[in-house]
Amino acid sequence: MLELKLKEFLKNTDKLVILGIGNEMRGDDFLGSLLARKLAPIFKEREDVMVFDGGVVPENFTGTIKRESPSHIILIDAADMGKSPGHIRIIKKDEISKYHLSTHAMPLSFLIKYLEQTTRARIILIGIQPEEMDRVNKVSLKINESIEYLVDVFCKILND
């Protein structure tokens, strides 16, 4: 289901930006950044796919993203959706306020609104249900499985 939704979202993509978001010091909150770090070397030779690790300050990448002039942007972050750990969901912008997203200075709804206004790109947020967000320096097994699944999905869709 997720794969089909992503494939549909990515139809007619001229340039894609993937922005992973997360805090390396807070366990599963690191998932977006970790996914970005895994995807970046895979797509580094592609001019139509840019991958950034936004860390805890994804707003610092707005200028870079704007200069890339993407047609599509995918943000990836931990999202407490009340689901089982590792659950992956595309979260629509009007649903963002329903979920507790990981800890950032600027709410992601503001970031998305700003990126929409400055890039005119189509934007989605992929949320992954975290298991552990205490001050631990590693991502849980379930989250690692979800990250590997998403790596496979992105490779399959973007290399078609």
Q: pLDDT (tens digit, 9 = 90+) per residue, 84-138? A: 999 999 998 778 766 656 555 678 888 999 999 999 999 999 999 999 877 677 8
Does the structure show a pLDDT above 80 at 14? yes
User: What's the domain range around 105?
Assistant: 2-154
Query: What is the model's pLDDT at position 134?
Result: 74
User: Does a structural domain hold residue 72?
Assistant: yes
Q: Is residue 29 part of a domain?
A: yes
Whether 28 is covered by a domain: the verdict is yes
User: What CATH number has the domain bearing residue 110?
Assistant: 3.40.50.1450
Q: What is the identity of the amino acid at 33?
A: S
β pairing state of 88-91 and 122-128: antiparallel
Identify whether 15 is part of a domain: yes
User: So what's the pLDDT on residue 93?
Assistant: 77
Q: How many domains does the chain divide into?
A: 1
pLDDT (0 to 100) of residue 18? 99
Longest pairwise C-alpha distance within the chain: 41
Average pLDDT on 26-34 reads 93
Is residue 42, in this structure, part of any structural domain at all?
yes
Mean pLDDT of 18-44: 95
Q: Per-residue pLDDT averaged across 35-43, rounded?
A: 98
Q: In this structure, is residue 159 part of a structural domain?
A: no
Does residue 160 lie in a domain region? no
134-157 average pLDDT score: 92
pTM of the entire structure? 0.94
Under 8 Å between Cβ of 16 and 128: no
